[in-house]
Structure 1
């Protein structure tokens, strides 16, 4: 796909994106404790924004350390944002919003949409889990589903936002497995689907090859399976 943005999968649910103007965006930066993230990607020092889907430790990950190091903005659902402040995030780095809300930055916007999952941070309620729809100015729409199973509103999101790229959890056990994930792709009808949230730990048994086979049954999306640390856009 011809795109101005750049994207890397860093293992599990973590991504690094670079906007057309060069802004560096991390999604769910579970890096230093992630056994699949390459060592040279575990401690970023050039971050402008962190976007979080929900509060679980394998998604918040290194957010507080990165924010302290870089001064980046941290975008999160209201309750999670308040908990991050409680644990050291500076007030001027917090950007809070809620489902249905869209925030505009530089050359991109972020909309928080639903996900069917739970959310807590350090044992406290962290609001509801969500998905992130990131729309780049004069470029693509990137939809990170977060942790979820299949649900009917995905078809509506596909019609409304027309995502070009979707990042879909397939690992099973804590999220949906490959077949449910492929049905999500069918509902969203993206050009590219990237399987995530698998293989990090033994319990996450979802197979990306199986996911690819199911996707081929349901849609014409191109399934890309980057290795952790690989760039797959731009």
Structure 2
């Protein structure tokens, strides 16, 4: 399944399986309006980009977003009939894809308060649980997730850095870890090497940027 997962830039992820899934589409050079489901983790501009949503969505695309983004989605002209609004800890199924919503927030930093109800997601695709963390720290909710693949921010500043992200991965123990949220707006490309050096075997680090 990992071969069907691509990271466009930053935290912009596409999974091209039977259902085409995007997470936080951002800086898409082009897209084929092919999204079955678009997940948005929170409303910062580098995660909620209506311009990029337009590039990959179509009239049948479904959306999964934090419940606190209802007004933002209405302003963007995306109807509630196409949108599943999620709370931390909730589960749902959209287009046949099982979804768990995981709280995503900072423990000490001010950028992503827990009260905002922002999210990461676990989706089950081809029998594999894929956890896209969103902008988070090494929280109790993140450490409790069980998954096969984790897409974890490593760029620091607004989220956990490379070494803290590796600590999270070493707790969760997925089969594969994919570093995201580095190398463009925040973090250096070399952060991926730091991250990989701190992840304990047998977890495989796959660098997609």
TM range (shorter): 0.7 to 0.9
Q: CA deviation at 1:68?
A: 6.4
Q: CA RMSD in A?
A: 2.4
Q: CA deviation at 1:4?
A: 9.1
User: Do the aligned partners of 1:78 and 1:127 also contact (CA within 8 Å) in 2?
Assistant: no
Which among 220, 224, 227 is matched to residue 202 of structure 2? 220
Q: CA deviation at 1:130?
A: 1.4
Structure 1 stretch displaced more, 74-83 or 185-194 = 74-83
| Structure 1 pair 64–213 and aligned structure 2 pair: CA distance change class (3 A) | closer
Which among 171, 180, 183 is matched to residue 199 of structure 1? 183
Q: CA deviation at 1:109?
A: 1.0
For 1:186 and 1:86, locate their aligned partners in 2 and report how far apart those are by CA, in whole Å.
Answer: 40
Deviations, residues 42-89 of structure 1 (Å, cap 9, x unaligned): 333111110111111101124552476444111101121332112311
Matched residue pairs, number?
A: 202
TM-score of the superposed pair, with normalisation by structure 1: 0.78
Which among 19, 33, 36 is matched to residue 48 of structure 1? 36
Q: CA deviation at 1:28?
A: 0.6
Match of 1:12 in 2: 10
Q: CA deviation at 1:31?
A: 2.3
Deviations, residues 170-224 of structure 1 (Å, cap 9, x unaligned): 01111111100000101110000000000113x42361001000113xx421001
For 1:87 and 1:127, locate their aligned partners in 2 and report how far apart those are by CA, in whole Å.
Answer: 19
| Structure 1 pair 114–91 and aligned structure 2 pair: CA distance change class (3 A) | closer
Q: Secondary structure at the match of 2:9?
A: coil
Match of 1:104 in 2: 93
Match of 2:21 in 1: 25
TM-score of the superposed pair, with normalisation by structure 2: 0.86
1:92 aligns with 2:81: yes
Match of 1:151 in 2: 139
Match of 2:152 in 1: 168
User: Do the aligned partners of 2:25 and 2:53 also contact (CA within 8 Å) in 1?
Assistant: no
Which among 174, 185, 190 is matched to residue 169 of structure 2? 185
Match of 1:35 in 2: none
| Structure 1 pair 89–66 and aligned structure 2 pair: CA distance change class (3 A) | farther
User: Do the aligned partners of 1:64 and 1:88 also contact (CA within 8 Å) in 2?
Assistant: no
For 1:168 and 1:24, locate their aligned partners in 2 and report how far apart those are by CA, in whole Å.
Answer: 20
